[in-house]
Structures are given as C-alpha cells and as structure tokens.
Structure 1
Amino acid sequence: MFRRAATAALAAALLATTGITACAPITSYSGFQAIDSDPKDVQVGTDTKSTVRAKLGSPSATSTFDPNVWFYVNQVKQRVAFSKPKVTARNVTAIAFNKDSELVDTVNTYTLKDGKVIAFNNRETPTRGREMTILEQLLGSVGQGGLLPQDDQGVPGSRPGDRR
C-alpha cells in the first residue's frame, strides 16, 4: 500500500515538473546589446560621433532623411510552445548630432509603450488592361496563322526556310 502511494506521488511530481518546464517561455534577444557601455551613458555636448561609435559601436540604423541621427535598437521576444512569438520589451535609443560640430545634441530613449500600431493595407493595386480567361489564353492564337508555315517564296530577297 505504501509502495503504491509512493509511486503515485513520484509520478505526480514528475508530471508536474515536466508540465511546468514544458510551458516555460523561450526567450530570444535581438538587436543592439549593451555589453561594456549603455546608450544612456552618452553625454550631451561632450561626446562626438567618433566617441559614440567607440563606446557603442555602429548604430542599428540611421535616419533616412538626416544622417546625423543614429538609432540603437534591441528587443526581447518570448514564445510559449507553438504560439506566436510576443514582443515583451523593445528599446530604441535615438542619438542626434549637431551637423557642424558633430557633438551630441539629444539622446532620446523610446520603449515598447511609445510605439504605435500601424494598420497595413494588404489589398493589391489593380493593373490596367484586359484580363483574359483561361479559355481565351488557350485559344487566343488560333486562326492567326502562327502555327502554319508561311509561303514567302515570291518576295524578293527571301531565302528558302527563312521565317519572318
């Protein structure tokens, strides 16, 4: 009796621990990783482009319209079993430089709360022109004489077997 109860308790404990570990989220990190220094350590008015690059490395992205704005981006995703990954943390540090002196003007930090959801329109733009059915595509060249050899023997300057 005691042996049967001990086996049942052991099986229940084993099932509980495997159930807990099986549902543990898988965490993945991507983007900029601050190892030696943090983007928040950049000093406004004292650091330049070269010192920021020496501290933090190359930026994740630069601004499209102003090359004097650098972005350092990182994010953390978690996935449980087969579900879709969910972004749990995102940090974007925007560092703006002065055009003339290349000194740091501003350091702004944005998080996941500052982001905005954009609704994408997945419709396609229609192309102009005539849309043919499958039957029209298959039978479209019938009767135009493209399959039959043409008799161009009477045309001056033509050679036998020459097709135009």
Structure 2
Amino acid sequence: MLKRAAFAILLAGAAMTGACAPISSYSGFQAIEANPRDVKPGEDSKATVRGRLGSPSAVSAFDTNVWIYMNQIKETVAFMRPIVTRRDITVITFDQETETVKTVDNLTLADGKVIAFNGRETPTRGRELTVLEQLIGSIGAGGVLPRDEEGVPGSRPGDRR
C-alpha cells in the first residue's frame, strides 16, 4: 500500500513537472539555408549577401552600408515573465565604393548591456482644472445670446448669429 502511494505521488509529480515545460518563441531573422556568420569579408558583395540571406532585419540610420541581422529565442514557463535565452546579432559593414563586405561582427546576449531607464517626467507649467472647474468656467463664455458686435474676429461682415 505504501509503495502504491509513493508511486502515485511520484507519477503526479512527474505530470506536474511536465506541465511546466518552457514554451519557446523565436523572433527575428531565421537562418534556414545560410547563416549570416558565413559571410566572408572581401569576397561577398551586397548582391550576394541579399541573395543568400535576404533583406536585413535593420539598416543603420546613419550609414546605409551597415546591415543588421537579428534573432532571439524567448522561453516562458507557466505564468512567469518571458526570459530571453539566446540572442544573435550579426552586423555586416560594406565598403562604400566597391559594395563588398568590409567587416562582419557577431554579437550575442552576453555582449548586451542593461540600460536603466529614468521613469521621471518633466513637469509642465500651469495647473490642471478639475471637471467641476471646467464646467463652471465655461458658463458665460458665450454662444447662447446673439452678438451685436461687428468686426469681432471670426465673424463676417453683416453676419448675425
């Protein structure tokens, strides 16, 4: 009897552990037939790189001769926040005149840096009105009675409202 209870507990524990298997999600450039790391400086050109790898994930905003291929893998366990387990970034720089590959830089998750964002906001001048102040403030601001004034900005000559 004790052996069966221990076996049932062991079986239930194995089932619960299997239910918490991580779910992997892939995003970014997926190297299927060719790998960006296989690009050779001095031999490949923009045309051969685009033909072999396809369009880059991003092009540098400051230099159109810098192409970036990125991908990452995230794993999620149950209800926990996803964790990035792998990130590969390949930066390919081309020579401006010959359009051949000048350099190939491979970066991983270990090369990344954590940036501490500042959540503070810059205050603006003035004060915010409450809903009641906005309603009371609009009373008497106009539009209910017709105006007898000519030449008021926004009115046409001879226009009576």
Matches of 1:157 and 1:35, distance apart in 2 = 75
Matches of 1:89 and 1:157, distance apart in 2 = 74
State the Cα distance separating 1:134 from its structure 2 match: 2.8
Give the count of matched residue pairs: 155
State the Cα distance separating 1:149 from its structure 2 match: 2.1
Say which of 115, 119, 126 aligns to 1:118: 115
Matches of 1:129 and 1:6, distance apart in 2 = 75
State the Cα distance separating 1:11 from its structure 2 match: 2.4
Provide TM-score, normalisation by structure 1: 0.83
Do structure 1's residue 34 and structure 2's residue 31 form an aligned pair?
A: yes
Matches of 1:116 and 1:59, distance apart in 2 = 23
Q: Equivalent residue for 2:146? A: 150
Q: Equivalent residue for 2:13? A: 16
Matches of 2:42 and 2:32, distance apart in 1 = 23
Structure 1 gap ranges (5+): none
Structure 2 gap ranges (5+): 150-156
Q: Equivalent residue for 2:77? A: 80
Q: Equivalent residue for 2:153? A: none
The amino acid of 2:15's aligned partner reads T
Rg larger in 1 or in 2? 1
Q: Equivalent residue for 2:152? A: none
Q: Equivalent residues in 2 for 1:35-114 (5 A)?
A: 35-114=32-111
State the Cα distance separating 1:128 from its structure 2 match: 3.5
State the Cα distance separating 1:14 from its structure 2 match: 2.8
Matches of 1:95 and 1:78, distance apart in 2 = 28
State the Cα distance separating 1:147 from its structure 2 match: 5.4
The amino acid of 1:83's aligned partner reads M
Q: Secondary structure at the match of 2:134?
A: helix
Cα distance change on mapping 1:47 and 1:149 into 2, 3 Å: same
The amino acid of 2:76's aligned partner reads R
Do structure 1's residue 140 and structure 2's residue 128 form an aligned pair?
A: no
Deviations 1:95-125 (A, max 9, x none): 0000000000000000111111112223333
The percentage of counterpart residues that share the same residue type is 57
Matches of 2:61 and 2:111, distance apart in 1 = 20
The amino acid of 1:58's aligned partner reads S
